[in-house]
Structure 1
């Protein structure tokens, strides 16, 4: 097997292991390249079907094209998507830049609080009815005990401390020092009741691996990742007030792969365009300890 085949096989094994071990399982889909590769792997692991719901946290500040892409792919692949949001924070304008919050506070309200309360079932979950185009309240209020996430160890410092099966407490809090050892593909999946587990099938993938796989498998991604003729493209996607493009003329996956192989971004962090990272002293560890992705 070549390098990509080994990565693919391991990720598919982890997805199937998670599905067999966790009763209430879900997968986070941020619409970015990593979680979209994870979505593609899920369909490959389960013969074209995704057997668990996809959870999307809607901050209402995503770049509009991301939402258009999300809805089109959901319809094409018949995806079961659950939507969560922090309605109270949005109404009270605890946002950036329109409201009275700074970037880190905005992430805490619109992402961390929305995510943890959506996963736990404390807040209403919504589904988009693709027939009538209306959002409907999800009748399932059971907490998700296992959540699949497209985290990569090379993407950001705190994520390198994760495990493939990473436990959180019942409040979704993450104790960095309490991660179980993982040797020889042996994973701990048996936890005390109330433990919430994040599952990371892409942990050992790199940015180059992701793009080589997208190129090989012809996976559809949002076009924001490609230069549209202005000499810039997005390398990492988030909310539009806090995400900036990078200087790049790459117009398709092949050109991005070639660009990465030249080492153009070797000294530039992948999330360098995410302004909230800079306000958090260059890392996301504090936000992630509280449940952030």
Structure 2
């Protein structure tokens, strides 16, 4: 098996385990490159038909290209699509730095969405290499029912043995891409022919490496206009993947506070 085959097989195993072992689950579709790969894997895992909802917790501030992509592929892929709304900024903790406070709208929106629909677990497309705090995550990560995460107290996961038995009233986050890297995502996207939002490709010397809300996400310098060029760029760059996310340049503990409170 190739490296991509091994990654694919492990992720499909995780998705099937989550579906078989947990109760009511859904997949968080943020519309970016990672969650699109995750949806592709879910379609493969269940023979073309995703058996759980694809959920977009919408801030109302995504790029137009992201909304166009969502509307097109929710229909083409026959997804059970669910959309949740985020609360206004006035309801978010004013002690947070500005960009972090804006991002926290999604955390609160997700909490309310989960409470309304009573999901036992959600599948999220995070990766360990994306951000230092995410490296502490587990594939099957137990949370409080409101989504809070104690990153200092996580269950062990040795040799790809996952605990899928949890007591009642425990919310679980499932991370089938945790062992992937950014380069893996793009190599798999290229191999599989997965559709890509055009914002990831360079225009006038700029492109987006990570997509979030339009008002708190910035492009990076790049001349990569194709996926092979993106892969070559990533194999040599020293620039952080999240360098275009405004909140990552605010207070040192901003991301930690968001993650502990339930941010993806």
Fold agreement, TM-score > 0.5 = yes
- Deviation readout 1:234-262 (Å, 9 max, x if unpaired): 0000001111111111112111112222x
In the alignment, the residues of structure 1 paired with residue 158 and residue 191 of structure 2 have an alpha-carbon distance, to the nearest angstrom, of 30
| Residue in 1 that maps onto 2:228 | 254
| Residue in 2 that maps onto 1:105 | 101
Given that residues 62 and 240 in structure 1 are in contact (C-alpha distance below 8 angstroms), is that contact kept between their aligned partners in structure 2? Answer: yes
| Residue in 1 that maps onto 2:41 | 41
- Deviation readout 1:205-245 (Å, 9 max, x if unpaired): 001000000010010011100013x1111000000111111
In the alignment, the residues of structure 2 paired with residue 37 and residue 23 of structure 1 have an alpha-carbon distance, to the nearest angstrom, of 23
Answer yes or no: is 1:10 the counterpart of 2:10: yes
What is the number of equivalent residue pairs in this alignment? 263
The alpha carbon displacement at 1:116 in A equals 1.2
**How is 1:19-34 mapped onto 2 (pairs within 5 angstroms)?**
19-34=19-34
Answer yes or no: is 1:222 the counterpart of 2:197: yes
Unaligned stretches of 5+ residues in structure 1: 122-140
Given that residues 53 and 82 in structure 1 are in contact (C-alpha distance below 8 angstroms), is that contact kept between their aligned partners in structure 2? Answer: yes
In the alignment, the residues of structure 2 paired with residue 190 and residue 120 of structure 1 have an alpha-carbon distance, to the nearest angstrom, of 21
In the alignment, the residues of structure 1 paired with residue 202 and residue 91 of structure 2 have an alpha-carbon distance, to the nearest angstrom, of 33
Cα-Cα RMSD:
1.9
| Residue in 1 that maps onto 2:111 | 116
- Deviation readout 1:129-187 (Å, 9 max, x if unpaired): xxxxxxxxxxxx3x111111101000001100000001101221100122110112211
Q: Could you tell me the TM-score, scaled by structure 1's length?
A: 0.86
The alpha carbon displacement at 1:86 in A equals 2.4
The alpha carbon displacement at 1:64 in A equals 1.1
In the alignment, the residues of structure 2 paired with residue 95 and residue 275 of structure 1 have an alpha-carbon distance, to the nearest angstrom, of 17
Given that residues 55 and 84 in structure 2 are in contact (C-alpha distance below 8 angstroms), is that contact kept between their aligned partners in structure 1? Answer: yes
Given that residues 158 and 283 in structure 1 are in contact (C-alpha distance below 8 angstroms), is that contact kept between their aligned partners in structure 2? Answer: no
SS of match in other structure, 1:84? strand
**How is 1:100-179 mapped onto 2 (pairs within 5 angstroms)?**
102-108=98-104, 110-121=105-116, 141=117, 143-179=118-154
Instruction: Specify whether residues 192 and 94 from structure 1 end up closer, same or farther in structure 2 by C-alpha distance, changes over 3 A only.
Output: closer
SS of match in other structure, 1:284? helix
In the alignment, the residues of structure 2 paired with residue 277 and residue 31 of structure 1 have an alpha-carbon distance, to the nearest angstrom, of 20
The alpha carbon displacement at 1:268 in A equals 1.6
Q: Could you tell me the TM-score, scaled by structure 2's length?
A: 0.95
| Residue in 2 that maps onto 1:212 | 187
**How is 1:190-205 mapped onto 2 (pairs within 5 angstroms)?**
190-205=165-180
Unaligned stretches of 5+ residues in structure 2: none
In the alignment, the residues of structure 2 paired with residue 217 and residue 107 of structure 1 have an alpha-carbon distance, to the nearest angstrom, of 31
